[in-house]
Structure formats: C-alpha cells, structure tokens
Amino acid sequence: MKYYSLNKTAPVADFKEATIRGLAPDKGLYFPESIPKQDKIFFEEMNKYADEEIAFKIIQPYVGDAIPENELKRIVAETINFEIPLKKVSENIYSLELFHGPTLAFKDIGARFMSRCLGYFVKNNDKKITVLVATSGDTGGAVANGFFNVDGVDVVILYPSGKVSSVQEKQLVTLGNNVHALEISGTFDDCQQMVKQAFSDKALNEKLFLTSANSINVARWLPQQFYYLFAWKQWNDKSNPPVISVPSGNFGNICAGILAHISGLPVKHFIAACNANKVVPDFLQTEKYQPQKAVTTISNAMDVGNPSNFVRILELFNNEFADLKKVLSSDSTSDEETRKTIKEVFEKENYLLDPHGAVAYSALENYLKQHPEEKGYILETAHPVKFYDVVEPVIDQKIALPESVISIMSKQKNSTIMEPDFQKLKEYLLEKD
C-alpha cells in the first residue's frame, strides 16, 4: 500500500515512511492510494473469526510488506488485549465501551498499535525519534502509556492548561522518563498549531527526527477501524445494520468508521456528535466550512475548532457533498443538554455515561426520534471516572475509582508550563535534544 499527501505535492510513501513522518513533506495528511474491499461473506460470517484475526485481516493491506506477518500479528494481539463490549442501554440504543484499556479511553487502540509499529521501525536506528503530539484530553494519556520506555523514542505532549480533567492530566504528567508534558497557557487549537509549526520548520527538522502521534498519523488513525468491526460481530440484528453515533472532536475516530464502511462494513448511517464546537454541523447545513476558535465545554476532548481529519472524510467522498450527506449527519449538544442526558440515562437505564458519550447519546436519541424503526449504538470513548468532577455533581454520588486511577492520583505532577509560542517550543525541543 502506498500513501499520497492530500496536498498532492509530495512523493508517495509506504506505511513505514508515512508512520515515521506523520505528515507528508508538503505538510499534507497521508491517505491510502486505494481502499481495500473485504468480501461480503467476511462480514456475514464474522462470528467465526477471533478478534485478532479480524483486526489483522483489516489492517494488513494498509501495512503491506512494511512489517512481516508474524510481527504484525504480535502487534495486533498486543493492541487489542482487553475487552471491547457492546452493551444494551435502552430498547434501541447500545453502547460500545472503549474504556477498558490501560488509560480508560478509546485512544488506547490507536496509540498501542502505533507505538509498537514505531518501536519495530526504529530498531537499530542511530537517531532518536521525537514523538510530538497535541492533546485535548485522552490522546496524551494513551500516547504516553503506549510509548512509555520504548527504546529510541522520546515523547513530548502539549496540552491546554486547565482544559483537561484532573485524571487526564495525571495520566500525562506522572510517567516521566522518556515522556515530557508541556502545559500550554491556551487552547487545544493553540497546542495543535504549535505542533504543526514544528513539523513545518525546516531548521528544526534538520536537527530532530520528528513524528506525530495524533490521529493525523496513519498508524493512529487506521487501527480505529477495529472496534467498529468488533461491534458488528456483537450486533444481534444483522438484517438491520446500526446507526452509529460518534463523539467527534478531531474527527479521526468517525473517519476510521466511515473507512471501514467503505471497505464493506454494514452501517445504516453515521452521526458526528459534536458539542458547542460545531464547525461540521454548520458545514453540513450550509456547505461552507468555516473553522472557529475552540469553545471550552465539559466534553473537553471534543473542543476542537478546526478538526484536522475532516479533510480525510471529504477525500473518502471525493469532495462530493451530496454523497457525504447520504452517509453522515451531525448534531450539536450543549453542556446543559449533556448534563441532562447523563442524569436521565443514569436514572432511567442505570447506565453511567461520560460527557462525550452523553453527547453521542443525545445525538442518537434525536436521530431515532425521526427514524423510530432504526437501532444504533454510541461509542462510549472514556470511563466516566476520568470526568468525575463533571459527572458526580450530576448524579449526586461518587464514582468508584478503578485501581489504575487510584495508583496515579497521589503521584507528583511533573510538567513544563509554556506560553502558546512556537519559538518557545522550538527552544525547548532543541535544548532537550
């Protein structure tokens, strides 16, 4: 498999080069030259396959010969070695729980897969790689955990000060060793802009071997297809494919789901569930894409005013707006409605949503009111305990802390405070090296 830049002015790359570079030399996102199609019978008989077989079958065409088959099977097995259950919440709504990994968030899948691929690629490499990543919440913890103590790799994570939950922050700032946390006095968009400037700075890239672990990286983006397939494996009514509501911030997750659908996965419809940051809902109404300054909400991992991966979704539909609208709709949910949804679902269904899952639940409920014959599921992307300061006042009770959270809450914070200034980041990276 070869990958081309969406800016269309860089040479094509194989999976190894695309993973190591993160961004193409012309600063475009890498995109596969073709979308592998799976046989219809594969989806019809998915229950016959182990999860490791399903994941390997989907990802192998994208990796090609960049990683030997036995090594790729090992990477896949280590990536998905935790439960990913589809649970019934109400009569027509299910929840795909993606928070059973080491950092209690869906990004464990992509981060674990990418870290193991990159670890394989840098073996016997003389030059250390610096993974540079911006996070609005869960990416940082998943990347930090995935790359912790990987030989030949340094990790630098930028996060917006005061705009991630206390649990999310602890997962970023307590590991140390090869993981370095930069607390930026600004928004996630400021963090993301600084990272993009670093990748476009010629002098910096001549000195350092930089790569990204955000969902812009193909090795983070592509394995997110796995859990959509695992959900289909558990979906009881195969004659009636699901409507899928995805909490959407940088749009890598839902883009992976749509990619799996184009490969053959049966899906009735996708909903991009957004909070007050509603660039995409507005676009789908007006056909005008207008990035905005990010608004702070209680579903903070989705506080993105210019989602990087949306350009990939447009590419999947050859920039044909009418074709996109047939597959994807989008909804925006306020903080007030998010809290209301958490409370109502907890009281009526005895199911506890985190704020991001609540946004997806609200969007799916609204869609099913207009399409009562359908059923669907949300992606519950993080454990509610990661947002206990939001959730506990809503349900008026404490959330039991998982052991993995108890173990980090008392650890000492170790971060570097920085203004949203690229020159300061550049100086830091060069001095650290």
Q: Does residue 93 contact residue 349 with C-beta atoms inside 8 Å?
A: no
Please report which confidence band the pLDDT of residue 386 belongs to, taking 50, 70 and 90 as the band edges.
confident
How many DSSP H helices and E strands does the chain contain? 20, 14
Distances (CA, A) of 212 to 237, 297, 410: 39, 26, 30
Residue of 66 and 175 predicted with greater confidence = 66
Structure tokens at 250: 């940088």
Q: Does residue 106 contact residue 89 with C-beta atoms inside 8 Å?
A: no
pLDDT of residue 139: 76
pLDDT tens for 62-93 read 999 999 999 999 999 999 999 999 999 999 99
Quote the DSSP letter at residue 163: S
Give residue 99's domain range: 83-105+221-395
Residue of 21 and 338 predicted with greater confidence = 338
pLDDT of residue 168: 84
Nearest to 239 by CA among 82, 41, 4, 44: 44
Highest mean pLDDT among 51-55, 149-153, 305-309: 51-55
* Number of domains making up the chain: 1
- Asked if residue 126 belongs to a domain, the reply is no
- Asked if residue 407 belongs to a domain, the reply is no
- Asked if residue 98 belongs to a domain, the reply is yes
In DSSP terms, 414 is beta-bridged to none
Using alpha carbons only, how large is the chain's radius of gyration in Å? 20
Give mean pLDDT, residues 243-264: 96
Q: Does residue 344 contact residue 211 with C-beta atoms inside 8 Å?
A: no
- Residues that are catalytic: 107
Q: Does residue 312 contact residue 393 with C-beta atoms inside 8 Å?
A: no
- Asked if residue 6 belongs to a domain, the reply is no
pLDDT of residue 175 exceeding 90: no
Give mean pLDDT, residues 132-155: 83
Residue of 211 and 231 predicted with greater confidence = 231
pLDDT of residue 201 exceeding 80: yes
| Residues whose CB falls within 8 Å of the CB of residue 431, separated by 6 or more in sequence, listed in order | none
- Asked if residue 419 belongs to a domain, the reply is no
Q: Does residue 243 contact residue 368 with C-beta atoms inside 8 Å?
A: yes
CATH number of the domain that residue 92 is part of: 3.40.50.1100
Structure tokens at 49: 């396959």
- Asked if residue 45 belongs to a domain, the reply is no
Label residue 268 exposed, middle or buried (CB < 10 Å: 0-12, 13-18, 19+).
middle
pLDDT of residue 315 exceeding 70: yes
- Asked if residue 240 belongs to a domain, the reply is yes
pLDDT of residue 408 exceeding 90: no
pLDDT of residue 199: 87
pLDDT of residue 433: 65
Give mean pLDDT, residues 408-420: 88
- Asked if residue 229 belongs to a domain, the reply is yes
d(CA 123, CA 3): 23
pLDDT of residue 212: 79
Please report which confidence band the pLDDT of residue 150 belongs to, taking 50, 70 and 90 as the band edges.
confident
| Residues whose CB falls within 8 Å of the CB of residue 124, separated by 6 or more in sequence, listed in order | none
Residue of 76 and 124 predicted with greater confidence = 76
Strands (E), 289-385: 328-332, 376-380
pLDDT of residue 297 exceeding 70: yes
